[in-house]
Every structure is written in structure tokens, then in C-alpha cells.
Chains A and B, each alone.
Chain A
């Protein structure tokens, strides 16, 4: 398991029909698209910040947090945030991803109007994971 493979494994989730059928654009963090962003999208963050040492042999194992920042138009209510979170649950809640990642139960933190762009409303969907 490499750090790059971790990110790739999460990103691949958002290229599959189970996600793309929802029509919600997913961007990696620290990325500025050339086209204007839609008024509803998510930004993906992978935080592999907790090393696991639960096996002899030196195999790299890590635990961490995956966060999807959910953006929807402001002043339209928060219901859509919960709906998108359910879409995310369908592909990320307690899942074995393609190779090494196992995700746990998810949670949602509603942040309110985005400080960078007040026209957007933000919530953070997060799920912890282990990569064995």
C-alpha cells in the first residue's frame, strides 16, 4: 500500500456508475477546474494520518479519515445535503474498496454557509478507514 494508491482507490469510487448516476461532480482537494464549478459538487480529501502497527513484518498499514466536502446552493434549505450524504453512504459506508481499504461507519457535520463563497452551503461527510 502506498499513499498514492490510497488516494487512487478513493478516487476510483467516484468514477463508477454507482456514483456517476447521481450526476454530482467530485473534485480532488487543491484543484481548480478550468470550467466553472457547478452550484452543487463535492470535494474529496483523504487524511491517512494514523499509522497502524498491528502486524509483524513491516507491512505498511494505516488508518485515517476520508472527507467529502458537500457544497449546495445557499438559501435553498439543507435537505439536499442529507440526500447527497445518502448517495455517499451507498458507495462508502462500511465498504471494502477495490484493494486494501475498509471503511467504517460515516458521519455528517453541517457547516453552514461557505466562508469562501457565501452563495454555497457546506457540509462535511466523513468516514474513517483502515488500509491493511
Chain B
């Protein structure tokens, strides 16, 4: 199981999105992303795993980034990822203590902070100006992952299209029993759009960029790949199970 199974600091957590329109129902691969697609289909917009040729123990299993996957890069602070509570106190006549019920939750604004590099983050303001809806992925990772090179071969031996630089890909290596092992991570998806873009020049540290993303609907996760006993079989993409 490659979902995170131990406590740790999420040093290698990343944010990425797919630069394709979002449609209701099911999407068409390479053209748009469907709200009704399965999580495995969402993941397939970010990365694919060609059928590997079995190799020696410790050899990388190649993963490729997909054309329209984009990394935000240089994330300085993540917000709370999820849906906040909206607890309503309900007075109870004749009782010393009121009761509480869970009301309809307000969708959160997710405020991210970046170490601002204009040539790297210019696209965020384009997203804001267009107000376009996209699918976003937060990959929570405590250990180092393979990073897409954006036009060339990455560390795993996979090939990445131009523009995908910085997208996190699974770190999977063959084991001694013909299968594979993967460094743990947990993916969370949400549909939303970029609501704000604010630059903060700094005197003693890096310049910063504050960006708010609005969520449209629920946050979905945690998902991760479960490698199979045979390395040539594709891993399943699923939530943790009991």
C-alpha cells in the first residue's frame, strides 16, 4: 500500500493541476476532465505508467507525466486541506445546555503561499483572470518523489512532455520478488478555480505570492497506488481499506 502509513513531515507535498476544461459527467481523455470520472481517471491525467520491462531488484519503474499536467512549484505554505465544520448551537427549552447540529459546511477558500518566481508562476494569474474551473491535486508526501523534468527523461527513466516540469510522479522500484515497492504518498483532489493573486515583496526572505483557490464541491481522497505482485501488472489506485 502506497498510501501514507506512518507519521511524518510532509516535506515533499506538492500542488498540481490539469490544464484542461472541466465537464460534468465523464470526460474524454486528453480533451477534458470529468467531475464524474473515477479517481484513477483523474490520476491518469497527471501520470501514466507504461508497461515496464522487468529488470533487476532496485531498478526504477518508469512513470511519465501527461501532457496537460502542470505543477505550481515552490510552495511555501499549504492551507488546511478539507472542509471546515459548521456547527450550529440549537437551544433546548428547559435544558441547561443547548445541543449542537452539523449545518451545511461553507466551502473553504484555500490560501496557498509560494516563493514567488515570475517566470514560474505567471500562469496562475492567467488562470485567475480566466476564472476557469480546473481539477487540482495535492499530493501529500513525506519522502522524495520522482519529479518530472518537463521535456526529457526523468529520474525514473520515464519521458515527460514539455510544460510538465515539477509534477510529482511515483517513486517505484522493483523488489526481489518480481513485484515493486513505492514510496508512500496520498492524493487529494478538488475542483475549483483561482480566486486571488497577490505578490508580497520581502526584504529579508524570498518574495512571496499569495493565491486563494476556491473549491467547487467536495475534496476527494486520500488515494494512492497499490503495487501488484507482478511488476508488469498496473497498480490499483484506491483509498486505504481496513
Given contacts A55-B76, A57-B11, A57-B12, 13 further A-B contacts (CB under 8 A): A54-B76, A54-B115, A55-B74, A55-B115, A56-B11, A56-B12, A56-B13, A56-B75, A56-B76, A56-B78, A57-B147, A58-B144, A132-B206
B-facing residues in A94-132 (Cβ within 8 Å): 104, 130, 132
Chain B contributes a number of interface residues (CB within 8 A of A) equal to 16
Question: Do A56 and B205 touch across chains, with their CB atoms under 8 A apart?
Answer: no
Within 8 A of A (CB), among B119-157: 144, 147
Distance of A102 from chain B, by nearest CB (Å): 9
Minimum C-beta distance from A33 to chain B (A):
36
- Interfacial residues, chain A to chain B (CB-CB below 8 A): 54-58, 104, 130, 132
Contact A55 B12 (CB under 8 A): no
- Given that A54-B115, A55-B75, A57-B75 are known contacts, is A130 also in contact with B205, CB under 8 Å in the complex? yes
Tell me if B74 and A57 are in contact (CB < 8 A).
yes
A56 and B204 contact, CB distance less than 8 A? no
- B14 proximal to A (CB < 8 A): yes
Residues of B within 8 Å of A132, CB to CB, are 115, 206
- How far apart sit A76 and B33, CA to CA, in the bound complex (Å)? 76
A43 to chain B, nearest CB (A): 27
In the complex, which residues of chain B have a beta carbon less than 8 angstroms from the beta carbon of A55? Answer: 74-76, 115
Q: Is B10 an interface residue (CB 8 A)?
A: yes
Instruction: Name the CB-closest residue of A to B204.
Output: A104
Cα distance, A104 to B202, chains bound together (Å): 12
Residue numbers in B under 8 Å from A104 (CB-CB) = 204
**Residue numbers in A under 8 Å from B75 (CB-CB):** 55-57
Bound-state Cα–Cα, A36 to B76, Å? 50
| CB neighbours of A56 from chain B (8 A) | 10-14, 75-76, 78
A58 touches B115 (CB 8 A): no
Quick one: which of B13-72 are within 8 Å of A by CB? Answer: 13-14
| Measured CA separation A56–B9 after assembly (Å) | 10
Nearest chain-B residue to A128 (Cβ)? B204
Complex CA distance for A56 and B112, rounded to whole angstroms:
12
Cα distance, A132 to B204, chains bound together (Å): 12
A58 & B74 in contact (Cβ 8 Å cutoff): no
- Separation of A79 and B206 alpha carbons in the complex (Å): 36
Give 29 pairs: A residue, B residue, CB < 8 Å, sorted on A: A54-B76, A54-B115, A54-B205, A54-B206, A55-B74, A55-B75, A55-B76, A55-B115, A56-B10, A56-B11, A56-B12, A56-B13, A56-B14, A56-B75, A56-B78, A57-B11, A57-B12, A57-B73, A57-B74, A57-B75, A57-B147, A58-B11, A58-B12, A58-B144, A104-B204, A130-B205, A130-B206, A132-B115, A132-B206
